[in-house]
């Protein structure tokens, strides 16, 4: 396997691990063991733990954007697109990666290895949502509302109530 291939494989494993366990409190040795590598190889590929964290975040954002594009690509209208997006966001199968997203988003407000994650995420999600909704203002409002609804869902597990709130949001856009 090429170096690029090994690096890509490590990034996928690191994202999977991070989604399940987070990255905030883990050191390189147990992280390396969990992904079938060594601390030395992680440092070789990513330079430092901070570099690793930044690359996992970059990779996670690129995967989210790919999934967002795939979700919105075949939708005929904005209602169908937003419902498809909500189904993906609210699917329990994606809750681990969404928890990792919110951990990273919150940590980005403090700087360090997470710095810029939140801002980049907003700036990357707005254009596809703007294409669906037609305006940056509506895209901004919808993105903030969706993230709030997902946080509520993760915190309470009350899918029925949060789904009703999503439908009310959908009716307002």
Residue 67 is predicted with a pLDDT of: 84
Residue 112 is predicted with a pLDDT of: 82
Residue 19 is predicted with a pLDDT of: 86
- Mean per-residue pLDDT of the chain: 90
Residue 49 is predicted with a pLDDT of: 87
Residue 100 is predicted with a pLDDT of: 87
Residue 61 is predicted with a pLDDT of: 84
Residue 171 is predicted with a pLDDT of: 93
Residue 115 is predicted with a pLDDT of: 87
Residue 50 is predicted with a pLDDT of: 87
d(CA 165, CA 3) in angstroms, rounded, equals 47
Residue 27 is predicted with a pLDDT of: 87
Tokens of 144: 């903030």
d(CA 72, CA 29) in angstroms, rounded, equals 39
What are the sequence ranges of the domains in the chain? 3-172
Collect the ranges in the chain with pLDDT lower than 70. Answer: none
Residue 151 is predicted with a pLDDT of: 97
Predicted model pTM? 0.82
Task: Please state which of the four CATH numbers 1.10.645.10, 1.10.357.10, 3.40.50.10540, 3.40.50.620 is assigned to the domain occupying 3-172.
Answer: 1.10.357.10
């Amino acid at each position: 396997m090429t170096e690029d291939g090994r690096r890509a494989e490590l990034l996928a494993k690191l994202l999977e691990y991070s989604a399940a366990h987070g990255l905030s409190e883990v050191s390189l040795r147990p992280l390396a063991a969990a992904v079938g590598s060594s601390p030395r190889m992680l440092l070789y590929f990513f330079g430092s733990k901070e570099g690793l964290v930044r690359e996992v975040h970059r990779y996670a954002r690129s995967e989210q954007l790919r999934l967002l594009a795939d979700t919105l690509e075949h939708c005929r209208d904005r209602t169908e697109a937003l419902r498809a997006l909500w189904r993906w966001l609210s699917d329990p199968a994606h809750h681990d990666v969404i928890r990792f997203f919110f951990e990273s988003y919150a940590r980005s407000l403090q700087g360090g290895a997470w710095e810029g994650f939140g801002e980049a995420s907003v700036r990357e999600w707005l254009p596809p949502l703007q294409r669906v909704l037609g305006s940056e203002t509506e895209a901004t409002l919808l993105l903030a509302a969706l993230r709030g609804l997902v946080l509520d869902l993760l915190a309470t597990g009350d899918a029925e109530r949060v789904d009703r709130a999503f439908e009310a949001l959908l009716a307002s856009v």
